[in-house]
Amino acid sequence: MAKNFRIRISQRNNDLYLDLRGDFDGTSAYQLLETLKKYYHGDGKVIINTKKLRCTVPFGVRVFRSDLHTTRCRRRNIVFIGRSSIYQ
């Protein structure tokens, strides 16, 4: 479990901005999915900033990819910023 993982959340108009920090593992993926379920209502874009992720664990990426369908967010609504793209 990545104890240093954090998500900063902001919303502007219909867009949801998520700034990820720390290490991205399976627990972090579930936290990100729960954040999407809570804050994204199906309108606008989700901008995910991965610039401040220290490392990305492949298992966390697989969890996020396989469970994204449980949220209202679709791949076409997600924009990644940063060198570590969780979903390509």
pLDDT at position 88 over 90? no
The CATH class of 6-81 is: alpha beta
Helix (H) or strand (E) holding 20: strand 15-24
Q: How far is CA 75 from CA 1, 11, 18, 25, 43, in A?
A: 26, 19, 15, 20, 13
Q: Are 60 and 84 in contact (CB under 8 A)?
A: no
Beta bridge partners of 20: 7
pLDDT of residue 2: 64
- Residue 26's CB: how many other CB atoms inside 10 A? 17
pTM given for the model: 0.91
**Mean pLDDT, the chain, whole residue set:** 91
Where exactly are the structural domains of the chain? Answer: 6-81
Task: Give tens-digit pLDDT for 72-87.
Answer: 898 889 999 987 667 6
